Amino acid sequence: MITKMNHTSIFVLDQDSAYDFYVNKLGFKVNTDAQMGPKGRWLTVNPPEQPDLEITLMAIDDKMMFDKSSAAKMSELVAAGTFGFGTFLCDDMLATYEELKAKGVHFKKEPAHEFYGFSAVFQDDSGNWFSLSERPK
Amino acid sequence: MPDQEFPKLYLYRRIVQAKLFIDAHSAERIDATDIADEACYSKYHFIRTFRDIYGKTPHQYLTAVRVDKAKALLETGMPVTEVCLSVGFDSLGSFTGLFKRRTGVTPSTFQRERLARRQRMDKAPLSFVPGCFAALYSGRENSNTREAT
């Protein structure tokens, strides 16, 4: 029986820039930052209240997961904002929105009360988008 | 976002600015009055609104930021006393006690454990990577763009 998810991946165009985005803008914690020799860098972060979920900031290149042609296609799709990788929760939507805006985060959809809850959509520095939802009070 | 839709948005902006002020000035001698001034609030109203939004008083939040920054500096190998002063604590005793209450270990134990983990990560990075990815990194498997046979 599967019990929980402990690793998931977000494909990023540049790991240094993604590090800055996820750590300094979103406030995530670095879990693992390991140099893997010629195969690149294994970089994972945790959402602040989820120390047992590692999100891998996976470089899109031809060193490990992709061949050259797939990496080029993937980079193009990510940069075009094709992929939504999940939903993040916050305790207070308006405060979180204001803070992320102040830090330069781009919102594709500003906060609104929808039939499914109070939510917004923002993009990371690569173009991946995420829903942001307020935890029900 | 139209401010008309969320008429209290300007209040959130002030509280968020205060939080960002704490983030940026946590190593300095700041207190709730400085922070309330930054947010253009009366001290009492500010503390209550801040706690409603963040679940902590400004002082509790300031302490949490200092502990977080201390953790980051300890991981670099900086001496504990230097870390204590760098993040805004006045005395090593109060820093050590507070750090232990928050994290369950003393700063020096935390540092020893994190540096040892860093050393393991440098020596055997594959042990920090889950199975299938470790196989890709080790070169035992090709990229996942090739189908399994």
Q: Residue B145 pLDDT more than 50? A: no
How are beta strands A41-46 and A54-59 bridged, if at all? antiparallel
* Token pair recorded at residue B8: 């209290």
- What is the distance between the alpha carbons of residues A128 and A74, in angstroms, rounded to a whole number? 12
Q: Residue B2 pLDDT more than 60? A: no
Q: Residue B24 pLDDT more than 50? A: yes
Q: Mean pLDDT throughout B71-88?
A: 97
Instruction: Choose the closest CB to A34 out of B15, B19, B128.
Output: B128
* Token pair recorded at residue A7: 């690793």
Domains of chain A: 7-134 (3.10.180.10)
Query: B133 contacts in A (CB within 8 Å)?
Result: 42, 56, 64
- What is the distance between the alpha carbons of residues A29 and A26, in angstroms, rounded to a whole number? 9
Q: Residue B142 pLDDT more than 70? A: no
Buried b (16+ CB within 10 A) or exposed e, A112-129: eeeeeebbbbbbbbbbbb
Residues 11-40 of B with CB under 8 A from A: 12-13, 15-17, 19-20
Those residues whose C-beta lies under 8 Å from the C-beta of residue A47, and which sit 6 or more positions away, are A28, A53, A55, A88
Average of per-residue pLDDT values in chain B: 87
Query: A66 contacts in B (CB within 8 Å)?
Result: 143, 145
* Token pair recorded at residue B61: 């939040």
Query: B20 contacts in A (CB within 8 Å)?
Result: 99, 102
Residues of chain A with pLDDT under 70: none
Instruction: Choose the closest CB to A42 out of B16, B19, B128.
Output: B128
Q: What is the helix (H) or strand (E) element at residue A66, kind and residue range?
A: none
**ipTM associated with this complex:** 0.86
- What is the distance between the alpha carbons of residues B5 and B24, in angstroms, rounded to a whole number? 30
* B126 vs B7, more confident: B126
Interchain CB distance below 8 Å, B143 and A94: no
* Token pair recorded at residue B139: 């070169």
Q: What is the pLDDT of residues B25-72, one digit of tens each?
A: 999 988 777 777 776 778 888 889 999 999 999 999 999 999 999 999
**Which has the minimum average pLDDT: B8-12, B90-94, B112-116?**
B8-12
